[in-house]
């Protein structure tokens, strides 16, 4: 049955703002309660309140009808039982849960949400919830002048989105990374509010084109959409990390990626033949530059037909995949959604006979012009179509391929609107809806189809999926790259807050095209960008056809050696990164973090957009201007140690740091530990050793956790992992170390060294009650062999 998601006419059919004002929800008429669900009938519709957890509450307003509590594909959390008390007061309804209080005034209906400390999380005064007969909906909340806004997924500009107005509409915009470009490839209708050191989250679960306005009114912010209903979740925090835990409980968490996926990846649009790919791999091997993956862009296909290889350019793809995998290199082919209209093409035939393609309401197929020419598009809102599409990836897995790259999946079409006709009607498993409503989830559902299909076919191995388009929840299936940037210093600068806000939107596995995709890069830019890429969660060098080549050696020996140094550094840091990916899976925390996440009470961090943290104890402050060798670095409270020189810097201060071209400024917090490994040619090489660096802090106790598993399968989900906890006490110029282990996995590495930085003169250290000898290295470091 077709659900009516509009009220009268479409938003583009007339009536200006003055003649068509928003209509208010009106006054409360009566209320009913069942367990943790409350419904209030109003003059102009119905409002439902559902407590999903003690710290998450949902509000749903259906104009002019009774509420239906459906959700978008973003939501995976089901409501838990929660003790909710309803008090019907004279002027308001009061809903009391263990961690939240909701106050709903009756005349008119206005919502206030407070936490257990009476901190206001969401508040409506003069303006509340509204709608238009044309189908548009809007929700307002008061805002405080101390508020700062983060998240909202893939957006350009600075880290803090205060003072901005942002649109959620997945759009293919070529080389779009400019501050005024909005919208981009992804839509994440969620944000975090930071106020006076505490935080709360809002997720607006509406798949129509939506807008978040933190600009237009001084004391009010709003979020609204062109259609659908007002459906939003308030997350209580109280800290930024708590909000991320709550949001990723709601929308899902990223699985731990296969280890090879967090190595170095090389791509170009395009490596156009098997010979070129083999020569590329040979050069990496000859130059001893680590490499884990090579990408095949659209030219590998037969006439751009997905699930094919051009057998003239790639005569033996199975041998190519096998031979490179023996060298520790994976092949990742691109797969777009457009299926060429060709009655002799088996994928097109199956799509027609299986009724898997998008159609108009009258039953005719939708065709759009993309790389193959006139093409049909799978209707990923249909579970039957998703299963079919997933099964088709057996073509790749049979060749030994374990990773897929989804592009053009906004979906992008070569026409004026840049996407599918909004009148196309999606099957949506028997609840048909227009593309106007489901456009933003097309890429998410394609990701689900691809990931689930690959997972079934890989026999227990973890698939890797990279996507350009997505919606809230896409982290369950895919890593995200930020799309077609350019080889400009400004785009390097923009990439840092973009990836940080993606992390704050639940996506820990993200990164830009290193070196820039469009335009011509140069040696200095590629070197500086590779330094950043070595520490972004996703590390891929990618460039466009017709631009200068930008493989690590492309700009001469000077730059090659610097780029090689940082690719090698990436492999040394893989144990630290892998532990952070495990934390993302467990808690929803990003790998690459803005400083405000760790220091939410430090106003110097609130809009700090040109440096970032790895985990909670490492600060990376890249150089992102040409010819620059100095930059100001802000270090928050504590003491911080230069990774390269062991020089100590006082926290709570800005420092002018010297960083010539070969140096990326990195700082480790005193009293903490980092876990490194050895340089390898790929993650397939033997992993024999761990090297822990402890930065001595007198009279302190620090705890560090190091995670590992087989890096290949999902056995970690059932306890096949190794989590080592190191507790280091530095008291009275003595150091003691306690080590405990959790999990059933026996790691490949057995040798562990601990390097002590700036520690007092020691000859022995107590390790689990046994005295271990200390080996002097330099004036500032010594080593314990465990």
Residues in the chain: 786
Alpha helix ranges (H) inside 23-165: none
How many Cα atoms within 13 Å fall on the side-chain side of residue 610? 15
How many other CB atoms sit within 10 Å of the CB of residue 355? 13
CB environment 98-131: b (16+ within 10 A), e (fewer): ebbbbbbbbebbbbbbbbeeeeebbbbeebbbbb
DSSP one-letter code for 81: P
Q: Which residues contact 520 (CB under 8 A, 6 or more apart)?
A: 487, 547, 548
- 219 flagged as catalytic: no
Q: Single out the residue of 706, 743, 747 nearest to residue 721, CA to CA.
A: 743
The reply to whether 312 belongs to the active site is no
Evaluated on CA atoms 575, 578, 580, 586, the torsion sign reads: negative
Q: How far apart are CA 381 and CA 363, in angstroms?
A: 16
SS (H, E, C) 678-742: CCCCCCCCCCCEEEEEEECCCCEEEEEEEEECCCCECHHHHCCCEEEEEEEEEECCEEEEEEEEE
Task: State whether residue 564 is helix, strand or coil.
Answer: helix
| Mode of pairing for the β-strands spanning 425-426 and 373-376 | unpaired
- 3-class DSSP state of 391: helix
* Order of strands across the sheet that contains 403-406: 510-511, 479-481, 464-467, 403-406, 330-335, 293-296, 265-266, 540-541, 513-514
Per-residue CA distances from 731 to 671, 700, 776 (Å): 12, 7, 20
Separation between Cα atoms, residue 191 and residue 199, nearest integer Å: 10
- Catalytic-role residue among 55, 226, 231, 484: 484
Q: Cα–Cα distance between 189 and 212 in angstroms, integer?
A: 8
Q: Classify 346 as helix, strand or coil.
A: helix
Cβ–Cβ under 8 Å, residues 450 and 404:
yes
| CA separation for the pair 250, 56 (Å, rounded) | 9
Tell me which of 136, 160, 410, 448 is the catalytic residue: 410
Identify the H or E element spanning 438.
helix 435-438
**Residues 737, 742, 614, CA angle at the centre, nearest 5°?**
70
- Indicate which residue of 182, 231, 297, 407 is catalytic: 407
Q: Which residue has the tokens 């130059």?
A: 287
Task: Let me know if 342 is a catalytic residue.
Answer: no
Catalytic residue numbers?
407, 410, 484
């Amino acid at each position: 049955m077709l659900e009516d998601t509009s009220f009268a006419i479409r938003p583009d059919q007339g009536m200006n703002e003055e003649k068509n004002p928003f209509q208010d929800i009106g006054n409360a008429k009566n209320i009913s309660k069942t367990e943790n669900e409350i419904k209030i009938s109003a003059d102009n519709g119905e409002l439902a309140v559902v407590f999903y957890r003690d710290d998450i509450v949902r509000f749903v307003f259906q104009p002019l009808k009774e509420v239906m509590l459906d959700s978008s594909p973003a939501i995976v959390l089901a409501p838990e039982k929660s003790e909710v008390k309803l008090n019907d007061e004279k002027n308001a309804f009061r809903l009391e849960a263990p961690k939240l209080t909701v106050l709903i005034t009756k005349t008119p209906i206005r919502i206030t949400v407070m936490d257990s400390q009476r901190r206001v999380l969401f508040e409506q005064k003069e303006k509340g919830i509204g709608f238009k007969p044309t189908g548009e909906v809007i929700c307002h909340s008061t805002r405080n002048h101390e508020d700062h806004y983060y998240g909202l997924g893939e957006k350009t500009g600075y880290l803090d989105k205060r003072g901005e107005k942002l649109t959620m509409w997945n759009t293919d915009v070529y080389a779009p990374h400019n501050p005024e470009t909005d919208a981009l490839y992804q839509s994440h209708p969620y944000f975090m509010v930071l106020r006076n050191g505490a935080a709360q989250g809002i997720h607006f679960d509406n798949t129509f084109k939506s807008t978040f306005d933190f600009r237009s009114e001084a004391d009010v912010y709003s979020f609204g959409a062109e259609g659908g209903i007002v459906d939003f979740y308030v997350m209580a925090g109280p800290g930024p990390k708590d909000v991320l835990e709550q949001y990723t409980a709601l929308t899902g968490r990223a699985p731990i990626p296969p280890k090879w996926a967090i190595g170095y990846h090389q791509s170009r649009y395009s490596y156009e033949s098997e010979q070129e790919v083999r020569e590329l791999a040979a050069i990496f091997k000859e130059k001893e530059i680590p490499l884990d993956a090579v990408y095949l862009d659209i030219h590998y296909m037969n006439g751009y037909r997905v699930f094919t290889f051009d057998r003239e350019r790639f005569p033996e793809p199975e041998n190519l995949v096998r031979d490179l995998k023996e060298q520790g290199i994976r092949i990742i082919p691109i797969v777009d959604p457009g299926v060429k209209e060709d009655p002799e093409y088996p994928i097109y035939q199956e799509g027609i006979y299986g009724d898997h393609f998008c159609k108009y309401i009258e039953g005719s197929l939708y065709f759009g012009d993309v790389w193959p020419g006139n093409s049909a598009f799978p209707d990923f809102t249909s579970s039957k179509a998703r299963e079919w599409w997933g099964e088709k990836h057996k073509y790749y897995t049979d060749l030994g391929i374990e990773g897929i790259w989804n592009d053009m999946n906004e979906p992008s079409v070569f026409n004026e609107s840049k996407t599918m006709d909004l009148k196309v009607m999606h099957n949506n498993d028997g609840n048909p809806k227009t593309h106007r409503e489901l456009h933003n989830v097309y890429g998410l559902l394609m990701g689900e189809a691809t990931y689930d299909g690959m997972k079934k076919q890989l026999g227990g191995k973890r698939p890797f999926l990279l996507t350009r388009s997505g919606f809230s929840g896409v982290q369950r299936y895919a890593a995200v790259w930020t799309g077609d940037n350019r080889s400009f210093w400004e785009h390097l600068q923009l990439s840092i807050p973009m990836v940080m806000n993606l992390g704050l939107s639940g996506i820990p596995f993200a990164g830009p095209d290193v070196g820039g995709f469009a335009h011509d890069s140069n040696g200095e830019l590629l070197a500086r960008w590779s330094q950043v890429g070595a520490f972004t969660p996703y590390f891929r060098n990618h460039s466009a056809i017709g631009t200068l080549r930008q493989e690590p050696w492309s700009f001469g020996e000077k730059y090659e050696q610097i780029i090689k140094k940082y690719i090698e550094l990436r492999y040394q840091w893989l144990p630290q990164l892998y532990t952070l990916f495990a934390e993302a899976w467990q808690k929803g925390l990003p790998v690459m973090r803005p400083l405000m996440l760790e220091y939410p009470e430090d106003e110097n961090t609130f809009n700090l957009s040109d440096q970032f943290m790895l985990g909670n104890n490492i600060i990376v402050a890249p150089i992102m201007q040409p010819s620059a060798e100095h930059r100001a670095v802000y270090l928050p409270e504590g003491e911080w140690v230069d990774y390269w020189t062991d020089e100590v810097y006082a926290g709570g201060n800005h420092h002018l740091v010297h960083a010539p071209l070969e140096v990326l400024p990195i700082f480790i917090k005193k009293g903490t530990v980092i876990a490194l490994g050895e340089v390898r040619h790929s993650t397939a090489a033997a992993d024999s050793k761990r090297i822990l660096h402890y930065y001595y802090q007198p009279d302190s106790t620090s705890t560090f956790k190091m995670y590992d598993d087989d890096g290949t399968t999902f056995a970690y989900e059932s306890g096949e992992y190794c989590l080592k906890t190191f507790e280091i006490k530095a008291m009275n110029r003595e150091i003691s170390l306690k080590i405990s282990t959790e999990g059933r996995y026996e790691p490949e590495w057995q040798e562990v060294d601990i390097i002590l930085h700036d520690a007092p003169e020691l000859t022995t250290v107590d390790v689990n009650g046994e005295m271990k000898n200390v080996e002097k290295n330099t004036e500032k470091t010594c080593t314990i062999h465990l």
